[in-house]
A and B are shown apart, each in its own frame.
Chain A
Amino acid sequence: MTPRLQRWRQSLKAGWKLLTQNRMGLVGVIMLGSVIGMAVFAPWIAPYDPNETSMVTIDDIYAEPSREHIMGTDDGGKDVFSSFVYGARVSLVVGFTAAMISMIIGGTIGLTAGFLGGRIGNFLMRLTDIFLVIPDLPLMIVIVAILGPSLWNIILVIGFLGWTGTARIVRAQSLSVKERQFVTRARAIGAGNFYILRRHIFPLVLPLMVTNTVLVISLSILDESTLSFLGLGDPTTLSWGGMINYAFTRGAISAGAWWAIVAPGLGIVWVVLACTLVGNALEEVFNPRLKTHHLQGESKMIPHRGLAEPVVTDDHVVA
């Protein structure tokens, strides 16, 4: 067990190094890490508890940023920064969980369709096509409106509608992997379908899935923000989208309270950008050919200076 664990750690380390060597990837990791840190340590970071009831005077409503409220206050006189910090929790939880659901559904359908092919594969891909052409947003609105706006409903709706891209990518990859000779060899060794899928095809599809997951996370966060902005968010928890919704519908703009909108808005942009950067960097880690190929740039094999000078070996002079 130990050597295998060691190897795992080694390859993780190497992957991490590659990821962070990529400057944009490093920026993305830091950006995403900061938000995750903020969400995890919210009670220690936020100066106020956003769920606490407090006495408010008229001056507290949409108060400008000040020493007590570094991002000002919202329509209820609550500290925007505290809501922002706690709101990261909702956005991230929805984003990650919904993306996981998408990955599991899309991965399973893509792998099955690609590996089995034939009638089953065709059926699954037509199903994917149907989900692909349905306009997501109206359907999400309808479903959430019918089921009621709870956090879990939102997660499930986003997860169950967001898997189509993953399914297509995974299918394409498993189609190409299954034709490779080591699959025939595995069959010759006496392996069954499930074994081949698990041991030989999945590991080669996984990198693609991981890269895709990161991008699906950002899409899910965007979807959640959209739904919340439209007033379909969970009323008991305040997400970034919800914050914008409240500020927008309760006169923040006419009151000139830009801070109530800018903070959560930038938060969304921040996370989506971070996910995109990490996703792109992961893609380069898993597929180094994206970055360099043999026709690109100058060869690192030839020393620049050595060319003009004759190379002297023991008894020959090679021009």
Chain B
Amino acid sequence: MLLPEPPLLEVRRLSTNFETEEGTFKAVEDLSFELQTGESLGLVGESGCGKTTAMLSLLRLLPAAGRIVSGEIRLAGQNLLELDEAQMRQVRWRQISMVFQGAMNAFNPVRTIGHQIGEALVLHAMAPSLDAARPRVIELLEMVGIPGSRETLYPHQCSGGMRQRAMIAMALACGPQLIIADEPTTALDVMIQAQILELLEGLQANLGLSIIFVTHDLSIVAEVCHRVLVMYGGVLAEYCDVDTIFNNARHPYTRRLLAAFPDLSRPTGRLISIPGHPPRLNDLPPGCRFAARCPLAFEPCFAEQPSPRLLEAGHWISCHLDRGEVA
């Protein structure tokens, strides 16, 4: 009998708040998605829509004011929210690792990249000391295309692309099943972007990794992702596979986002933007969070928040509009 394989990562109705003096910011609300082994998911949305917060929630590394208020995060069947801090430390990097946004800042400027990669090995008892970790560090660096002899460089001595590669080497150090790549190609030029994406794709194929790409660049999504989750104002807007998003997007926000993408065949055409601002997360409207900017909004949109519903197999959407009305 053939049973569908259980997903590697299963996030169910995750909600994360920030408690501040200015009130409660609902940074992520009711977010659900899943990830199969070897699959890559693109997490797309504007700045401040909760992408990074959602990812930090997976690792339980939120800033001091952040709280995961409800939901569950199952990694290989184990609910990460039930683990204590010591167990969680074992999950971090062994099972889930992260490629941080802006590799320059993710390295300590006064220590060599080799040391910092070795650190992960030492902390997870895969090497007794930093010196003993060297062979493995060199191996990791070569895996991402940096000559092993470069392990003695300091972060400021590396180019942007090299730092990003080193960051990826660090993410691979403990053989994780899931890598969260938080804007892995931001601040890199297009050539290096392509190289980094190619590298990640190659590693994914060779090592059977699952990757979550956090990005606001839809071209990356088109290139490397199998499925896409579009977030808006902390909630799921649309969640489906990559073909559907580009050919059959249903959510007005997704459609606007796609329309805002410059058209290469018409280089002189006006750039399209979505008028208005994202909602303030401490003062949310009662209805749909996108309603104020949505050209198709009608009464229920301002009264009731739409919850994610299944449109067709594998295509989730949070919108009050019926299929016919969206067209």
Contact = CB atoms under 8 A, between A and B. Distances in A.
Interface of A: 1, 3-4, 7, 117, 180-182, 184-192, 195, 199-200, 203-204
A180 B98 CA distance: 16
B108 A190 contact: no
Nearest to B180: A188
B123 interface: yes
B316 interface: no
Nearest to A6: B152
B94 A3 contact: no
Given A7-B152, A190-B94, A191-B119, A185 B100 contact: yes
B264 interface: no
Nearest to B134: A3
Contacts of A189: 92-93, 97, 119-120, 123, 170
A11 to B, nearest CB: 10
B131 interface: yes
Contact of A181 (B94, B100, B123, B131): B100
A200 B110 CA distance: 9
Contact of A182 (B59, B64, B101, B108): B108
A180 B89 CA distance: 20
Contacts of B38: none
A204 B64 CA distance: 22
Contacts of A203: 108, 110-111
B155 to A, nearest CB: 9
A1 B130 CA distance: 10
B18 interface: no
Given A199-B119, A203-B111, A190 B106 contact: no
30 contacts: A1-B131, A181-B100, A181-B106, A182-B105, A182-B108, A182-B116, A184-B61, A185-B100, A186-B108, A186-B119, A188-B59, A188-B93, A188-B97, A188-B100, A189-B92, A189-B93, A189-B97, A189-B123, A190-B89, A190-B90, A190-B94, A190-B120, A190-B123, A190-B124, A191-B119, A195-B123, A199-B111, A200-B111, A203-B108, A204-B109
A192 B89 CA distance: 8
B285 interface: no
B111 A185 contact: no
Interface residues of B, number: 28
Interface string B139-155: 00000000000001000
B92 A182 contact: no
Given A186-B108, A188-B98, 8 more contacts: A184-B100, A188-B59, A189-B97, A190-B93, A191-B89, A199-B119, A203-B110, A204-B109
B123 A180 contact: no
Interface string B84-122: 000001101110011011100111111100001001100
Contacts of A188: 59, 61, 92-93, 97-98, 100
A204 to B, nearest CB: 6
Given A181-B102, A181-B105, A189-B123, A3 B59 contact: no
A226 B90 CA distance: 56
Contacts of B124: 190
Contacts of B92: 187-190
B106 A182 contact: yes
B8 to A, nearest CB: 19
Given A190-B124, A191-B123, A185 B110 contact: no
